[in-house]
Amino acid sequence: MSSLVLNIVALLALLPAALVALRAGEGRSAQFRLCLALAVAGPALWGYSQMSAQWLTSLSAALWVSIAATAALFAVLAHATAQGWRLAPLLMPFLAALGLLASLVQWVEAAPPLSGQVPAAWLDLHIVVSVLTYALLTLAAVASLATFLQERALKHKAPTTLTRMLPSVADGETLAGRLLLASEAVLGLGLATGMATQYFETGAVLVLSHKTLLSLLAFALIGLLLVGHRVCGVRGRVAARVVLLAYLLLTLAYPGVKFVTQVLVTH
């Protein structure tokens, strides 16, 4: 019963920020900051209550930890940059939808036990890096989507209520570029720690599982985009599509594989 209550509290904690973010002209008001703090605290508390004893391999736990990490990083971004907070109309409803999905799948998933062959400290490092990677790339994907929507509105000369709340094309590209650089660096570290974890488990450095292959493709795609931006000036809607594709690959690699193995295959 206490777990159910904490799950409901975590889900409800995301709703005020999602609703306030969609209100035109809200800006970085005290109400916005309060709702954002609530959106960080609710999922973080629920994630901590699940993971305090040991790391869980379930899809729902992974989603809640990712939601908490993404909300926390967004709070830092919103405070540290002039335009970062403008991503809220896209990000916060998305996190609320992820929270709803996490709440639903926990009743039907079948999570395997955590491997005991990997040193605990090393496993903790790999999980933290993986969560940080997914949170960073989530923010980068949202910034790229904002850029895509702004460019399309400018091309058709038809701005909407939503696009007026989002960052400008230049600001969106700047945010996405910086977040992509951080994502690529942390994803590279995650691949390295993942290979070490694989070695502890199987004795092989690299096993081309679905998760590994999709992660490598995402890493290569982001790297090519960063080089293309530097050398050829790739930007705008082309860059946004590439970022969203990389995010899709990483989503398939992490929560996607868990969804297939823990929900679809077991039912």
Q: Which tens digits make up the pLDDT trace of 2-31?
A: 788 888 999 999 999 888 887 755 567 788
Domain count, the chain: 1
Q: Any idea what DSSP says for residue 71?
A: H
More confident: 53 or 256: 256
What pTM does this model have? 0.90
Contacts of 167 (CB under 8 A, 6+ apart): 83, 84, 86, 87, 143, 146, 147, 150, 175
Spatial separation of the C-alpha atoms in residues 134 and 140, rounded to whole Å: 10
Spatial separation of the C-alpha atoms in residues 100 and 226, rounded to whole Å: 34
Instruction: Check if the beta carbon of residue 84 is closer than 8 Å to that of residue 175.
Output: yes
Sign, CA dihedral 221-175-237-92, equals: positive
Mean per-residue pLDDT, 52-74: 86
Roughly how many angstroms between the first and final C-alpha of the chain, as a whole number? 25
Spatial separation of the C-alpha atoms in residues 148 and 155, rounded to whole Å: 11
Residue with tokens 């079948």: 110
What is the structure's pLDDT at 96?
A: 94
Share the mean pLDDT of the chain: 84
Q: Domain range holding 6? A: 2-264
Helix (H) or strand (E) holding 97: helix 88-105
What is the structure's pLDDT at 194?
A: 79
In a 3-state reduction of DSSP, which class is residue 197?
helix
- 72-110 pLDDT, tens digit per residue, is 999 999 999 988 999 999 999 999 999 999 888 887 666
What is the structure's pLDDT at 11?
A: 92
Spatial separation of the C-alpha atoms in residues 69 and 48, rounded to whole Å: 12
